[in-house]
Structure 1
């Protein structure tokens, strides 16, 4: 029988998660395959082949292949930025050196803070004559002679990628387009990124760095995407940071849009699986990513930072901490126990993986305390618990602790690291963390769920079906999406309907052309938004703009939403106060091509007897060692209740249920953990 198969592949640091969905029957197949950090394209091809094997399908039966990648992210996190040049307006060469005067955590906590190294060294920056003002008027013509000299210099210096950011090119991109033509003639092998195409909005420093990040990852991403296209059974779509997907060809033009590809898919998968308003926690091997979902939609931001580089593109608002399963436990010079942010990675990995790891990790602590099974992934990955115990004993001796006490301390510190990340995404954004259930997923996400309920006083934790593969599942729940922006700084009382109509029409034209390249005709829609502020403020608040004709009604409703949003965020607004007029800054349009969602199926209720799922007992340490019931999750039925202490195991993840907690399986197959 011919199948219609959609496949999601999410590449992580240790494992690659795979979900295959049969569009006709709704059957979902999940698995994990080893990641290949040396060449992620090999791991991608192996994952696609394994999905086809398990589904007993041919490549021609794949209707969609969606991919979440960390190639761009890792290149930035590991500071592998080389061979990068910068071309800017003559006289503004120190732009990257000046940067911003902002200091992390304020001067009071950063006495010895120094600016991080520039993304481009000073000797690889070149200025080109010509000048555009903020209205788009040309003050001085483009100087082709200096442009040719800059291109030849960068070619001679061995520069492989060039970022171009001219002053006020958001208002008129003609000088940047002329510079690209010069680079094509004089340095045809260079990858080139223009700020007018990467980020067409004002603030020169952020626009320049975002453009340079795009250029920095373009060679690596271009090669990677070409390799996966060659080995994919279907034309691949790639997850972007904004919560949408684009074709690999479109992403190769603007790879900076993928810097939070994998974490965004996880937040979207949680939003689809659970709905409502929740805090999501995606625990992996290297790090943990947390986000907030409000009314089924993940919060978006443009104030992102990847590694040490500010990246001003629309992205799911995510906070990442080095608190994954592979996070290394170590003794500080002061004699205190620390966990992370350094990770043992995929190779050699934790001690219990038996691949030559030399340092105790969070996973080793779980293994020693019996909170994870002695064989992971359905028995495919045996754990060397003795090696983990020996390594922990060495660390415990350095700390003057018993091994169990050291292991429990590692998990406690890891839980508090995750809790602090959750506070940053909620409390620091004006949200009361106690109002939101926690959705924990990923291979290590559910492991500390009970402790997080205590630390943060959360109402409950929800462990979705197949939590270890939720990010890959999330790839199948999103639409094709492209974001387009234009800066127009104008006071509200001077804003005419004609300007609104002109700019929104231009942006919707750009969005329509991009969606047409993706194969969408009439089946598309547009989402408008705008960045507004009070005159004199330095930063804006983004609000959704209504549909319909862009006239007076749209203007008034958008301003009303701005006042409401400002009051919700900061506790006050200046509604109706002529001393504080509203100023429009950026207009935005997102072009959306809808894709089919996986079906949501309720499960038949059980009889409330969870004992059918018991597979045996093993010694587990919570407060002390005791024989603890072990449950097989796929044998539980809706309405079944498991009371702690217990351990609930499945293919991709484990839920250690502490004493005083209980877990109930709901009608959609999610475990709901409460005190």
Structure 2
């Protein structure tokens, strides 16, 4: 897509990722290729303040003004945090008459397996049953109308919501994925009878079967829509795009229409940034670990693309939208160390956040955190962000010593224990994203980034047997950098359940053409001419009798017998890779079934260029500091920006930079590659 210069004459693109503790900013001058990175403290009470402060800081560093900005890309946790904190009051639900208990029935699945089923209590529904209204009318699974839409009951439902002050409403009628006519009429009634209502329709949020998941996904969209609209109004200019969970971005105007697509906004940007950096370094498949102040997000990149899922959850809510497959664990720098009633030490998932933060921040924090443990052991400098945030190491030590006294151990052992527990929490998240999905964790290098991501990299290599860890340039800002590498992307889905042997290829092609037209309209709204449109087709298939599907990419071209055979071959291969078996040679007893058809509309952007760096430079340490690994030692301290390609640093040592730190344990070494990445090996 061709970019115009800003009003000020320059062409600047800015990526801004708002985390729980810091707001990360990366600015790119598209004409010179200059990249500037910086951070500001997040402002959880009003995230827009941290956003604006980050933009101002980046522009000051570049000597530029807001008129020079041609594009802003934003990764936000506003929707995610609202769901995690269950701030979903005043939400209403409209569904088909006779199905008012669809949320109460839910699914029979029990978290953590049946071993805990005796003690598990089903959590409260996203909408209590007294705020559910039903409307007469019925479609069957083919979209044929069985009973007509009952406008009288629709009007009664709308007036009931208006009288009770319920303004966020989700609508999910049975089989509306096949024909949305009744849902569209329900919206007309709601907007006529209750003009203040914010309405989400399942046919627009998730046009896919499975009523329970479709209902919850639609309600989550309705719940976050008012919050996201207010937030984006505060920060939006005409050039703002917001990161989506699926690995694409959308304009702020489009996001207000479908806010649920942003629920994993920040973590998705980090995984894409890691994929972009490692692709340039010649590594196609890696594990990504994004360590922040509140949590750590883990994903897998296969053949330069992060893996996707539609079986995600945010908090306790199943959200069935395309999203990068990410596992999140409460093991960030601000994770609090605490004692259980049994007297054992635990770390997280509760976090001290940005305010008051860890004890060493000197902002009134009283609880010991992972960052405090690093400070006590000398593994991070006595200041953050190049000196902008001085650390009160004495306050951290006092807290760790008090905790150690309760456990009857030294402060060093207690601090090391905090870090060990945090490392195991991260290792378990990595196992969940790899071993549980049939991948051998030992085959994949780890890309560690985020402010706290590199801090435990050496220990994770030991715990998991990983071949190497890659620390990108400016790891603390990689998520913000990833926002500058992301295409505009929108996903469309249609359920069409049909046996492969009975497949109507003409009807299949017609559905894909309709989805592609919808995607093209959205891309045109985003400003992309038809010549720039790209489309990616995929299909969800399964063996007849299975409950869940496997998604495979579908080739371009006409929907003929060769096309059908190729998609089915890909399904057999994918099923065998995932589960270790397939039935390609037994189609009679195990016929293949097509379930969902999908199209992604993609509008490509101009990406930054990662240039190789020349060898040579100062590889001497900038000083020494007492650091505790297995014992106290005078460890050399290196400034990363002074390390040139080819330099090898042997542990014990510490490599510091503006947004992050790498403690290099004894027995490990870090080599600087041609792009400036640190490659850590035993």
Identify the residue that residue 657 of structure 2 maps to in structure 1: 650
Identify the residue that residue 597 of structure 1 maps to in structure 2: 607
Q: CA deviation at 1:518?
A: 0.3
Which runs of structure 2 are paired with 1:117-156 in the superposition (5 Å)? 117-156=124-163
Query: Which of 553, 562, 571 is the matching residue for 1:562?
Result: 571
* 1:239 to 2:249 alignment: no
* 1:94 to 2:98 alignment: no
Which runs of structure 2 are paired with 1:577-596 in the superposition (5 Å)? 577=586, 578-596=588-606
Identify the residue that residue 264 of structure 1 maps to in structure 2: 268
Identify the residue that residue 31 of structure 2 maps to in structure 1: 24
Query: Which of 511, 531, 537 is the matching residue for 2:540?
Result: 531
Query: Which of 511, 514, 523 is the matching residue for 1:515?
Result: 523
* Structure 1, unaligned runs of 5 or more: none
Identify the residue that residue 188 of structure 1 maps to in structure 2: 195
Query: Which of 479, 490, 494 is the matching residue for 2:498?
Result: 490
Judge which range, 47-56 or 69-78, deviates more: 47-56
1:426-478 deviations in Å (ceiling 9; x for gaps): 00000000000000000000000000000001000000000000000000001
Q: Distance in 2 between matches of 1:629 and 1:107?
A: 51
Q: CA deviation at 1:195?
A: 0.1
Which SS does the other structure have where 1:610 is aligned?
coil
Q: CA deviation at 1:33?
A: 1.0
Q: CA deviation at 1:42?
A: 1.6
Which runs of structure 2 are paired with 1:135-214 in the superposition (5 Å)? 135-214=142-221
Q: CA deviation at 1:576?
A: 3.3
Query: Is the CA contact 1:239–1:262 (under 8 Å) kept in the aligned structure 2?
Result: yes
Q: CA deviation at 1:527?
A: 0.1
Which runs of structure 2 are paired with 1:174-323 in the superposition (5 Å)? 174-229=181-236, 232=237, 235-275=239-279, 276-323=284-331
1:563-621 deviations in Å (ceiling 9; x for gaps): 000111111111131111100000000000000110120000127x721xx11111100
Q: CA deviation at 1:226?
A: 1.1
Identify the residue that residue 33 of structure 1 maps to in structure 2: 40
Q: Distance in 2 between matches of 1:300 and 1:250?
A: 22
Q: Distance in 1 between matches of 2:681 and 2:471?
A: 11
Query: Is the CA contact 1:213–1:256 (under 8 Å) kept in the aligned structure 2?
Result: yes
Identify the residue that residue 477 of structure 2 maps to in structure 1: 469
* 1:543 to 2:547 alignment: no
Which SS does the other structure have where 1:599 is aligned?
coil
Which SS does the other structure have where 2:532 is aligned?
coil
Q: Distance in 2 between matches of 1:440 and 1:458?
A: 12
Q: CA deviation at 1:68?
A: 0.3
Query: Is the CA contact 1:68–1:475 (under 8 Å) kept in the aligned structure 2?
Result: yes
Q: Distance in 2 between matches of 1:390 and 1:50?
A: 34
Judge which range, 133-142 or 55-64, deviates more: 55-64
Query: Which of 398, 412, 430 is the matching residue for 1:404?
Result: 412
Q: CA deviation at 1:62?
A: 1.2
Query: Which of 320, 331, 346 is the matching residue for 1:338?
Result: 346
1:89-134 deviations in Å (ceiling 9; x for gaps): 0100000000000011211244301111100011100110000000
Q: Distance in 1 between matches of 2:663 and 2:494?
A: 50
Which SS does the other structure have where 2:622 is aligned?
strand
Query: Which of 67, 71, 84 is the matching residue for 2:78?
Result: 71
Query: Is the CA contact 1:504–1:550 (under 8 Å) kept in the aligned structure 2?
Result: no
Provide TM-score, normalisation by structure 2.
0.97
Query: Which of 659, 665, 669 is the matching residue for 2:672?
Result: 665
* 1:8 to 2:24 alignment: no
Which SS does the other structure have where 2:267 is aligned?
helix
Which SS does the other structure have where 1:647 is aligned?
strand
1:322-379 deviations in Å (ceiling 9; x for gaps): 0000000001111111000010111000000011111100000000000000010000
Q: CA deviation at 1:190?
A: 1.2
Query: Is the CA contact 1:193–1:214 (under 8 Å) kept in the aligned structure 2?
Result: yes
Query: Is the CA contact 1:441–1:463 (under 8 Å) kept in the aligned structure 2?
Result: yes
Q: Distance in 2 between matches of 1:400 and 1:186?
A: 67
Provide TM-score, normalisation by structure 1.
0.98
Which SS does the other structure have where 1:560 is aligned?
helix
Query: Is the CA contact 1:484–1:511 (under 8 Å) kept in the aligned structure 2?
Result: yes
Q: Distance in 2 between matches of 1:68 and 1:434?
A: 31
Which SS does the other structure have where 2:300 is aligned?
strand
Q: CA deviation at 1:405?
A: 0.5
